[in-house]
Structure 1
Amino acid sequence: MRIAVSGSIATDHLMTFPGRFTDQLVADQLHTVSLSFLVDGLEVRRGGVGANICYGMGQLGTAPVLVGAAGEDFEEYRAWLERNGVDTGSVRISEVLHTARFICTTDVEHNQIGSFYTGAMSEARLIELKAVADRVGGLDLVVIGADDPEGMLRHTEECRTRGIPFAADFSQQIARMEGDEIRTLLDGAAYLFSNEYEKGLIETKTGWSDAEILGRVGHRVTTLGPRGARIEAEGAETIEVGCPEEHAKADPTGVGDAFRAGFLSGLVWGVTLERAAQVGCMLATLVIETVGTQEYELSRINFIERFTKRYGDEAAAEVQDHLPRVV
């Protein structure tokens, strides 16, 4: 199974605030907020939804194809991704714009305030998926992650036109999208990814109920934070998967991307949806223990030990033969 992941490619600038955002908000002044936060640290890391997901899949040996746009400053990042098992041959390089930037501050309760500079990401709309498919010998699934909104719409329409199964994953872009755009992006998706908050926002903005959305997608995959994930499909029994025990909570940035990387790798391996979600939760746990979205180390022995402890011997046996021997 060959999966292409379209989505943002960015550099993350991650800062930590040693207090609570909520303590700085005045209830009757929320219409005129003007705040700045003195932060304790700054970490500059590789990131972007598409690149993060592909990095995780590369660690699991599932050879993802990254589809997105970056600037001429991407070459070092490209080398890093290729060294970690990602096909970057379909990344468009802008001649005039820099690679996108994500600037995020996290407080002591792991609440986050972030801003995103689009940069070269705006040229993602110029990428044709047919050229990607022709280059790699066909695609079995295209993940349409948070990216240039026009690009997301065009990729979705091209998938429908060419009969390529697609997964809808709005992530950060859902806040700026209108209901008709969201309806267009999710209708007919093989998979719809979101967290709990985004789930409610999707229903509010589209005007569709949970049941109506389930009738329009193959599977609805909802991440539940520390409670794991839920997988639903019309007429099927709901699957709920918990998370392994965390060793630490270093930084939540990129946890959702890691879950998707694990889940999608499970699809490539051909394991059950329950097992795929368990792999996703295991990878997400590794990310929350690390500062940075692509800084975690995937040790085969550690992965299997922790996976077995949480999900049992039978689950581990089904997964371990798919893990790369070198990690």
Structure 2
Amino acid sequence: MRIAVTGSIATDHLTQFPGRFTDQIVPDRLDHVSLSFLVDELHIRRGGVAANIAFGLGQLGLRPLLVGAVGQDFDAYDALLTRHGVDTGAVHRSRTRHTARFQCITDDAGNQIASFYAGAMCEAVTIDIADVARRAGGLDLVLIGADDPDAMLRHTEVSRRGGLAFAADPSQQLARLTGDAIRTLVAGASYLFTNAYESGLLLHKTGWSPADVLARSGTWITTLGEKGVLIRRRGEPDTEISALTVTDPRDPTGVGDGFRAGFLAALGHGMPPARAAQLGCAVAAHVLEAVGAQEYLLDLPALLDRCTAAYGPEARADLAGCLGGTP
């Protein structure tokens, strides 16, 4: 199965201030703030929803096509993704802007001061999914993830017009998108991904009922954190999939993207949505046990064992073909 994953590609620059921001603020001088914090650590993490999902798919053997916009500073990131099985040939490189960057300082009380530089992401609208599909020799699915809003709308319209199956995954951009834009992104989607909060926000902003959503999309997958996953399909009973137990959760960043990677990988091997969600939950657990969205490595036999322990021998028999294990 040839999957194109569109969306943000970014780096996170995370630092720690050994103190409290509030101790550095003079209340009667807030009209002229000029502060600088000497930080102890710098952690640079690779991120962006499209890159996170593609990273997981690559480890699962699908060689996904990453579609997004980056700057001329992308070489090292590009090399790492390529080593992990991601095809970066459709990534657009800006001549003038840097790759999107999240910069954050966290103090000892957990307070944060942050900025997000969209940078090259604003050029994602120039990418033509129809051209990407032609150069790839065809696409089985286009996942349209959080990105420049105009790019998300263009990718959706081009996919719909060209008869390309697509999955809607608006996630963080739901807060910015209008109800009309959300309705455009969802209509005709083979799959819709949300988390629990996003599902409520989507219904609120569109004015739709759950039945209205299902009338316009094939399968609606809602992740529920430690409660697992809810799968809704038009004309069928809801399906609930339990999450895997994680005894040492370390960082929730990118867990949802890991789920999507496992889900789409299983779909690519012909698995039904319920079984695909089980593999998604297993990959998500690995992401949760690491610090950073792309700091985990999948040992496929061990991943298969973990699916077996959580979901039983039938899951092992079905997923063995996806993971290269023994039924």
In the superposition, the TM-score normalised over structure 2's length comes to 0.89
- Equivalent in the alignment of 1:161: 161
1: CA distance, partners of 2:244 / 2:151:
36
1: CA distance, partners of 2:117 / 2:128:
23
- Equivalent in the alignment of 2:122: 122
Relative to structure 1, the CA distance from residue 155 to residue 14 in structure 2 (aligned partners, 3 Å threshold; closer, same or farther) is same
- Equivalent in the alignment of 2:97: 97
Question: What is the SS of the residue equivalent to 1:246?
Answer: coil
- Equivalent in the alignment of 2:83: 83
| Residues 239-258 of structure 1 aligned to structure 2 (within 5 Å) | 239-258=239-258
2: CA distance, partners of 1:93 / 1:313:
46
Instruction: Give the aligned length.
Output: 315
Cα RMSD of the aligned pairs, angstroms, is 2.8
- Equivalent in the alignment of 1:230: 230
CA shift, 1:105, in A, is: 7.1
2: CA distance, partners of 1:312 / 1:110:
40
2: CA distance, partners of 1:248 / 1:226:
13
| Percent identity of equivalent pairs | 57
CA shift, 1:14, in A, is: 3.9
Relative to structure 1, the CA distance from residue 268 to residue 112 in structure 2 (aligned partners, 3 Å threshold; closer, same or farther) is farther
- Equivalent in the alignment of 1:66: 66
1: CA distance, partners of 2:113 / 2:217:
31
CA shift, 1:117, in A, is: 1.8
Matched letter for residue 163 of structure 1 = G
Relative to structure 1, the CA distance from residue 61 to residue 257 in structure 2 (aligned partners, 3 Å threshold; closer, same or farther) is same
- Equivalent in the alignment of 2:194: 194
1: CA distance, partners of 2:67 / 2:191:
18
Relative to structure 1, the CA distance from residue 271 to residue 116 in structure 2 (aligned partners, 3 Å threshold; closer, same or farther) is same
CA shift, 1:108, in A, is: 10
Gaps of 5+ in 1: 20-33
Instruction: Give yes or no for contact 2:304–2:323 (8 Å, CA) kept in 1.
Output: no
Relative to structure 1, the CA distance from residue 321 to residue 7 in structure 2 (aligned partners, 3 Å threshold; closer, same or farther) is same
Pair 1:314-2:285 in alignment: no
Relative to structure 1, the CA distance from residue 83 to residue 321 in structure 2 (aligned partners, 3 Å threshold; closer, same or farther) is same
- Equivalent in the alignment of 1:136: 136
Relative to structure 1, the CA distance from residue 247 to residue 191 in structure 2 (aligned partners, 3 Å threshold; closer, same or farther) is same
CA shift, 1:43, in A, is: 2.3
- Equivalent in the alignment of 1:290: 290
Matched letter for residue 271 of structure 1 = M
Instruction: Give yes or no for contact 1:110–1:252 (8 Å, CA) kept in 2.
Output: no
- Equivalent in the alignment of 1:27: none
Matched letter for residue 210 of structure 1 = P
Question: What is the SS of the residue equivalent to 1:87?
Answer: coil
Gaps of 5+ in 2: 20-32
Instruction: Give yes or no for contact 1:167–1:191 (8 Å, CA) kept in 2.
Output: yes
Matched letter for residue 189 of structure 1 = A
Relative to structure 1, the CA distance from residue 120 to residue 224 in structure 2 (aligned partners, 3 Å threshold; closer, same or farther) is same
CA shift, 1:247, in A, is: 3.1
CA shift, 1:17, in A, is: 9.1
Relative to structure 1, the CA distance from residue 183 to residue 162 in structure 2 (aligned partners, 3 Å threshold; closer, same or farther) is same
Matched letter for residue 241 of structure 1 = I
Deviations 1:247-292 (A, max 9, x none): 3111000001000011010110111211100111000000011001
1: CA distance, partners of 2:111 / 2:272:
33
Instruction: Give yes or no for contact 2:269–2:321 (8 Å, CA) kept in 1.
Output: no
- Deviating beyond 2 angstroms after TM superposition, the runs of 4 or more aligned structure 1 residues are 13-19, 36-43, 102-116
Matched letter for residue 228 of structure 1 = G
Matched letter for residue 6 of structure 1 = T
Deviations 1:104-145 (A, max 9, x none): 578999999975321001100000112111111101110000
2: CA distance, partners of 1:108 / 1:278:
37
2: CA distance, partners of 1:85 / 1:16:
33
Deviations 1:25-54 (A, max 9, x none): xxxxxxxxx9x9998864211110000000
Instruction: Give yes or no for contact 1:61–1:324 (8 Å, CA) kept in 2.
Output: no
In the superposition, the TM-score normalised over structure 1's length comes to 0.89
Pair 1:203-2:184 in alignment: no
2: CA distance, partners of 1:80 / 1:2:
20
Matched letter for residue 257 of structure 1 = D
Matched letter for residue 171 of structure 1 = S
Q: Rg bigger for which structure?
A: 2
Instruction: Give yes or no for contact 1:231–1:238 (8 Å, CA) kept in 2.
Output: yes
Relative to structure 1, the CA distance from residue 254 to residue 142 in structure 2 (aligned partners, 3 Å threshold; closer, same or farther) is same
Deviations 1:218-251 (A, max 9, x none): 0101000011111101111211111111131110
Matched letter for residue 252 of structure 2 = P
CA shift, 1:307, in A, is: 1.2
Instruction: Give yes or no for contact 2:265–2:322 (8 Å, CA) kept in 1.
Output: no
Instruction: Give yes or no for contact 2:130–2:159 (8 Å, CA) kept in 1.
Output: no
Matched letter for residue 128 of structure 1 = D
2: CA distance, partners of 1:90 / 1:241:
34
Matched letter for residue 45 of structure 1 = R
Question: What is the SS of the residue equivalent to 1:192?
Answer: strand
